[in-house]
Amino acid sequence: MEKKISEDLIFLPDFKEFEYEKWSTLLESRVGITVPKEREAFLQTKIWSRMRELRVKSFSDYWLIVKNGITGNIEWNELLDRLTVHETSFFRHMPSYDLVKNDFTKVLNKKRKCHYKIWSVSCSTGEEPYSLAMMLQSLKAKFKKEGIYYGVTATDVSKPALSIANNAFYSELKLDNINSEYYQYINRINNNIFAIKTEIKKRVAFGVFNLFKINEMPTIKFDIIFCQNVLIYFSKEKKIEILESLKRFLHVGGILVLSPTDIGQWKSENMTRIDYRRTLAYKLN
């Protein structure tokens, strides 16, 4: 028998001025994401969609659930997944990938031994780190050079997104963005789904990480920090603070690859803008 939905769960409850203030402040204080007043409706409908699943009828009742100790933290992660935008694709901004390809090719040409490390900062559901790994794996195979290794560390604040990334199953529709030279690294499961092969999966390590808490992170040095399409959600001041903090994670000569639309110009001590077509990248001197 069809379940009758209570009328209270059909109509969006009122989102009063103080509700907007409360929820947007919580989001900003926990993950640094700013929701401007113009996007109040986005905040309201995303919270409401989660409330409906739980059959909670008022924003104030749901607030108590989210703020309630350990169970509240679990619920917060569910909500956060709805409030963050996970849009991504394989090889999303090709010029940024070309820049990394170019840098790794130089390493393969020049060095006898190297452990080349990349950090995909907000990896969403995994397409970005797997694209990087496929590209590096293919280059390494072409050079047939012993002693050169690579690894991709991939992080995101959203646990549900990371769980999809870890499983590494994707819709066939996503194949359109993958160059056929990389098809050797995927397995077709059926007409609708493909999986990333183990040889690529094992080069990528996933972990939960909140960019807003970057200063609490122990320092690990990377050759490439690939930070794309995430800074856009932060305030201007927070963006600069994050960028300054990311420097600590680069080897000298390491490159920070940003998305050209995430920030305007950024000037920082010891960081030189790289002139590489249609990219926004900086090298640590």
Q: Which is nearer to ligand SAM, 23 or 209 (CB)?
A: 209
**C-alpha–C-alpha distance, residues 108 and 110, integer Å:** 6
Closer residue to ligand SAM, CB minimum distance, 40 or 81: 81
From the list 13, 32, 126, 254, which residue makes contact with ligand SAM (rule: CB under 6 A)? 32
- Burial tier of 157 (Cβ tally within 10 Å: 0-12, 13-18, 19+): buried
Place of tokens 């309201």: 44
Radius of gyration of the chain (CA): 21
Query: For ligand SAM, which stretch binds (CB under 6 A), given 7-15, 41-49, 50-58, 156-164?
Result: 156-164
Residues constituting the chain: 285
The minimum distance between CB 131 and ligand SAM, in angstroms, equals 9
Q: What does the alpha-carbon distance between residue 280 and residue 192 come to, in Å, rounded to a whole number?
A: 35
Residue 174 makes contact with ligand SAM by CB under 6 A:
no
Residue of the chain from 24, 44, 88, 153 that contacts ligand SAM (CB under 6 A): 88
Segment near ligand SAM (CB under 6 A), from 3-11, 47-55, 81-89, 168-176? 81-89
Q: Which two tokens stand for residue 185?
A: 């690294």
Site string for ligand SAM, 101-130 (x = CB under 6 A): ---------------------x-x---x--
Give, in order, the Cα–Cα distances in Å from 104 to each of 115, 183, 187, 195, 285: 11, 21, 26, 25, 18
Interaction site with ligand SAM (CB under 6 A): 31-33, 84-88, 92, 122, 124, 128, 156-158, 161, 209-212, 228-230, 233
